[in-house]
């Protein structure tokens, strides 16, 4: 029988791995739940989940088996030894978050940036050293989970290490940019982040101060270096002159990281939430992250935010030619699909600034599909703000978003979708006929 989480971890709690016994034969940990404010020193692991099945296993809490992918097994083997030596615990999302519990996933992912920021340091796992060409590995020993190359020189292997899949993933962006201290691991060797950055800059023939907000974007003078080293845009984004003031608008982040990859396209947006400006984050957290929401709904709400918050505050106008923005949202389709998304995101179809509570927007977008379902917004509350009128619409708690409603153009009463307009016209015609307005006068 596999591992069963004894209880749910709420947003104020954190699970940590305490290494007990780390050998090539088996990895044993205690999985403990603690308050975030009282958590002992821990290292948060930043790694790629990798492909394939969870074919390996570790032992948690009294020999209970927990299945993991080979890359995480190798990571826990080497980092577990290091953690034992210094008396520190580990945090790894695949284990410390119950991935089968949507409510826990939502609440823990919402605090992911805090999990990394509060860590004593972040451990970036780049994987094992490349297997030497002259080393033969029999099939029965694959996948290779432990490998020591002696001596291992990071400078000699920089072309490989700076172009590993790790640097292309969405989630590692905030995991690398937010923490104060980072240590990079390759097998049983490690390097401090600043040393890695300096080494990489020397190899790329750029100075570490050769930074501006558009580094890595089309037309930048240093782009030739980024084609040789995939790690450079992220390394330079964590520049000493900028860290830790890293907040950007969602619009800027989606464009800057439109090439970042993930298996779940919702993560193209979810993985950037820890980096948006405080006011924007408060708006976005009404909806995200929500692992029960469809990819389509995530794109619509993110687009609604860009159109109704970012664009009025200076971001470029959005249209079907906004290629990098749509790629940043995980939309690779052409003009027809982009027009559909823009139509649903615009204020006539989705009032982004209404007082939505968590889960309501997904419900509304599901109900207000493209097949003629309709709703209208009316000035119905005590403050004269618009409220949604929809049969069965869930009631929302009163919420206040300082600095958001001010200056936001309201559209007044509006009908959404053609069916609503048609129905209204029919009702008016019926009333007029009933009271004789449309009847021909008698002789």
Tens digits of per-residue pLDDT, 415-424? 333 444 454 5
Answer whether residue 384 is part of any domain. Answer: no
> Predicted confidence band at 348 (pLDDT cuts at 50, 70, 90)?
low
Does the pLDDT value for residue 429 go beyond 60?
A: no
- Whether 343 is in a domain gets the answer no
Is the residue at 206 inside a domain?
yes
Least confident of 3-12, 59-68, 312-321, 342-351: 342-351
The three-state DSSP-derived secondary structure of 326-378 is HHHCCCCCCHHHHHHHHHHHCCCCCCCCCCCCCCHHHHHHHHCCCCCCCEEEE
Q: Is residue 236 part of a domain?
A: yes
Cα separation, 288 vs 110, in Å, equals 8
pLDDT classification of 141: cutoffs 50, 70, 90: confident
Contact yes or no for 125/171 (Cβ under 8 A) = no
pLDDT of residue 424: 52
What percent of the chain stands above pLDDT 90?
57
**Which residues have C-beta within 8 Å of that of residue 370, sequence separation ≥ 6?**
340, 344
What is the band of 212 on the pLDDT scale with cuts at 50, 70, 90? low
The most confident of 119-128, 346-355, 365-374, 423-432, by mean pLDDT: 119-128
Give me the pLDDT at residue 131, please.
84
User: What percentage of the chain's residues is helix, strand, coil (to nearest 5)?
Assistant: 35, 15, 50
Is 74 within a domain?
Answer: yes
Q: Does residue 57 fall inside a structural domain?
A: yes
Percent of the chain whose predicted confidence (pLDDT) is above 70 = 76
Q: Note down the domain range covering 176.
A: 1-243
* Total domains present in the chain: 1
Give the C-alpha separation, 185 to 126, whole Å.
6
Name the nearest CA neighbour of 154 among 187, 121, 180.
Answer: 187
pLDDT value of position 32 = 96
More confident of the two residues 383 and 33 = 33
Give a yes or no: residue 431 inside a domain.
no
Angstrom distance (rounded) from CA 21 to CA 29: 7
Global pTM?
A: 0.79
CA separation, residue 255 to residues 251, 282, 298, 336 (Å): 6, 21, 16, 21
Q: What does the pLDDT read at residue 270?
A: 96
At 51-101, the pLDDT tens digits run 778 999 999 998 889 999 999 999 999 999 999 999 999 999 999 999 999
Structure tokens of 228?
């040789």
Residue 280 in any domain: the answer is no
pLDDT in tens, 379-390: 344 443 444 343
Mean pLDDT on 148-167: 92
């Amino acid at each position: 029988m596999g591992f069963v989480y004894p209880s749910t971890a709420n947003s104020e709690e954190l699970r940590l791995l305490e290494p007990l016994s780390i050998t090539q034969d088996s990895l044993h940990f205690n999985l403990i739940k603690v308050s975030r404010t009282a958590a002992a020193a821990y290292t948060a692991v930043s790694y790629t989940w990798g492909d394939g099945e969870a074919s390996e296993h570790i032992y948690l809490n009294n020999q209970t088996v927990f299945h993991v992918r080979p890359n995480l097994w190798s990571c826990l083997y080497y980092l577990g030894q290091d953690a034992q030596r210094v008396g520190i615990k580990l945090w790894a999302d695949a284990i410390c978050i119950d991935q089968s519990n949507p409510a826990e996933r939502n609440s823990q992912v919402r605090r992911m940036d805090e999990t990394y920021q509060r860590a004593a340091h972040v451990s970036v796992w780049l994987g094992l050293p490349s297997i030497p060409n002259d080393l033969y590995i029999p099939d029965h020993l694959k996948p290779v989970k432990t490998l020591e190359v002696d001596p291992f020189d990071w400078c000699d292997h920089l072309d490989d290490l700076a172009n590993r899949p790790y640097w292309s993933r969405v989630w590692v962006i905030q995991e690398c940019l937010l923490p104060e201290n980072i240590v990079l691991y390759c097998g049983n060797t490690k390097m401090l982040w600043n040393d890695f950055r300096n080494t990489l800059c020397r190899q790329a023939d750029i100075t570490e101060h050769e930074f501006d907000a558009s580094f890595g974007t089309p037309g930048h003078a240093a782009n030739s270096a980024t084609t040789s080293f995939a790690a450079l845009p992220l390394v330079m984004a964590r520049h000493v002159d900028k860290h830790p003031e890293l907040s950007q608008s969602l619009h800027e982040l989606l464009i800057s990281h439109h090439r970042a990859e993930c298996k779940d396209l919702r993560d193209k947006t979810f993985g950037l939430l820890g980096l948006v400006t405080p006011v924007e984050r408060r708006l976005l957290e009404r909806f995200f992250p929500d692992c029960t929401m469809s990819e389509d709904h995530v794109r619509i709400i993110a687009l609604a935010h860009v159109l109704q918050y970012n664009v009025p505050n200076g971001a470029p106008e959005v249209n079907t030619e906004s290629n990098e923005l749509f790629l940043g949202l995980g939309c690779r389709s052409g003009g027809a699909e982009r027009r559909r998304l823009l139509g649903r995101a615009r204020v006539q179809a989705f009032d982004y600034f209404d007082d939505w509570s968590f889960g309501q927007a997904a419900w509304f977008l599901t109900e207000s599909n493209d097949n003629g379902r309709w709703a209208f917004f009316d000035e119905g509350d005590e403050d004269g703000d618009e409220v949604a009128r929809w049969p069965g619409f869930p009631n929302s708690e009163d919420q206040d978003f300082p600095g958001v409603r001010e200056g936001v153009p309201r559209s007044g009463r509006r009908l959404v979708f053609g069916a609503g307009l048609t129905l209204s016209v029919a009702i008016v015609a019926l009333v007029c006929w009933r009271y004789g307005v449309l009847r021909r006068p008698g002789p």
